[in-house]
A and B are shown apart, each in its own frame.
Chain A
Amino acid sequence: MERVKFVIVEKSYLIRKGIASIINRIEHATVVKETDSLDSINSIFQKYQPDFLVVNISLLNELGKYRNQEINVNLKEFCIGIDSGIYMPTEYSGELLEIISTQDERDDIFEKLNLLIQTKFNKHLSSIQQTGLSEREKTILKLVAKGLTNKEMADKLFLSSHTVITHRKNITNKLGIKTISGLTVYAILNNLISIEDLDHK
């Protein structure tokens, strides 16, 4: 499979290197360019045609200026914000695909990015990814079967609702089961929960 390309724009050398090292550990993913400012972002886009842009949220307003040039795509489809805790979220923060915080654990960042790749390139990956649910997905599935809402699961597992939704999409894609009642039957058949668990509702 062709590699999934990331560009990172972040002033802080340590944060930039840290995120790059996580991305490069993800299967199929690679950082094609790291830079500390948006100055040459147009030519970077032309040259590398990245799949994802990872950018500090403090640069979002500036990024807005470039959007109608090379980067005329919806931020929601490809832009991941870095929240280093220093800058306030801007009006663009809500438009982002995902936000990673410098406070996040390494594994959480890994998982968030991995999910984004899987979701975006679903068709390519599905043949490779068909093998069973991950531990995280099993946890989510159990909670779905017990009747929790996305919001409740997000709170319980300290994830964003967005991440929970992505997990649920992946579970559905892997199992071929869409509805909550169907997922519940699957969970019981596979001993993830017992029928007694359901009666506690």
Chain B
Amino acid sequence: MNITPEMKMADVLIHNFTLLPVISRFNIKLGFGDKTVKEVCLEAEVNIDFFLEITNSFVDEDYVQQKELNSFPISLIVQYLKKTHQYYLNEKIPEIEHNIHLMLEEETVDNEKFSLVEKFFNDYIKEITNHISREEVAIHPYVLEIESAFYSNKINKDIYSKIKSYSINNYASEHDNIEEKLFDLINIIIKYLPPAKSVSLCNTILTELFRLEKDLNIHASLEDKVLIPKVAVMEEKLLSLYNSK
């Protein structure tokens, strides 16, 4: 069932505990009493359309994200993406890294084999860090610039040549497989590594990997299905505006 503005926020969370880290990205704090989703969003100054878009994609994998141009600004998406980046880099990944180290320290696994997991994950950290910094340094400023040009209806030569040399669709095509790698790691631990003696630690690592993978998938689909199409439409309109001058 989709989350709607009239639902009680407490009920939403009780039924979908995976939303806990998500609402904190919106700076929404617990202690809702009987307030509805709409009321909580109003108080926290959160755009309700955007909030519903994100939370619904978390609870329903088949939720179709909307692409309407005016439902919420791109700056909101960028802001949210940045917050999730911080969550990955400052919370989730260090947590998993720490648990992998614990596993090796306790020598409850075949260390020689498990060190492959460590290496795989270390490489992964490098990759995701690069991916994120590229998004924040290059892509985000670009899409914000496009948005502001679009709403002010002004396009100068500078933006025109930027669109020409780097359209958002290029970014879509170079979007790499950072979710796939994580899923491979999960598969390797479940299927191919000798079992660890500390079952609970191993389960913790797996659970964290699953959560991170799910979060990354939603992150990627927000980029692919909402951000990129939105920016592509804006680019097109800006180009035709420039050409008609």
List A residues at the B interface (Cβ < 8 Å): 175-179, 181-183, 185-186, 188-190
Contact = CB atoms under 8 A, between A and B. Distances in A.
Interface string B131-161: 0000000000000000000000000000000
Contact of B183 (A178, A185, A188, A190): A178
Given A178-B177, A181-B123, A189 B192 contact: yes
A177 B192 CA distance: 11
Interface string B192-214: 11000000000000000000000
B184 A181 contact: yes
Given A189-B116, A190-B192, A179 B187 contact: no
11 contacts: A175-B191, A178-B184, A179-B181, A181-B123, A181-B184, A182-B181, A182-B184, A182-B187, A185-B184, A189-B113, A189-B192
Nearest to A190: B192
Contacts of A185: 116-117, 120, 184, 188, 192
A182 B180 CA distance: 9
B188 A186 contact: yes
B201 to A, nearest CB: 20
B185 interface: yes
B210 to A, nearest CB: 15
Nearest to B116: A185
Contacts of A181: 120, 123-124, 181, 184
Contacts, number: 42
Contact count band on B: 10 to 19
A177 B116 contact: no
Contact of B184 (A179, A188, A189): A179
Interface of B: 113, 116-117, 120, 123-124, 177, 180-181, 183-185, 187-188, 191-193
9 shortest A-B CB distances, which residue pairs? A182-B184, A176-B187, A177-B184, A178-B180, A179-B181, A185-B116, A179-B184, A189-B192, A179-B180
Given A182-B181, A189-B192, A177 B120 contact: no
B188 A189 contact: yes
B177 A179 contact: yes
A186 B193 CA distance: 9
A189 B181 CA distance: 17
Contacts of B181: 179, 181-182
A189 B189 CA distance: 11
Given A179-B184, A182-B184, A185-B116, 16 more contacts: A176-B187, A176-B191, A177-B187, A178-B180, A178-B184, A179-B181, A181-B123, A181-B124, A181-B184, A182-B181, A183-B184, A185-B117, A185-B192, A186-B188, A186-B192, A189-B188
Nearest to B184: A182
A182 B185 contact: yes
Nearest to A176: B187
A65 B187 CA distance: 49
A50 to B, nearest CB: 36
Nearest to B183: A178
A103 to B, nearest CB: 38
B116 A188 contact: yes
A13 to B, nearest CB: 49
Contacts of A176: 187, 191
A181 B125 CA distance: 13
Contacts of A182: 120, 181, 184-185, 187-188
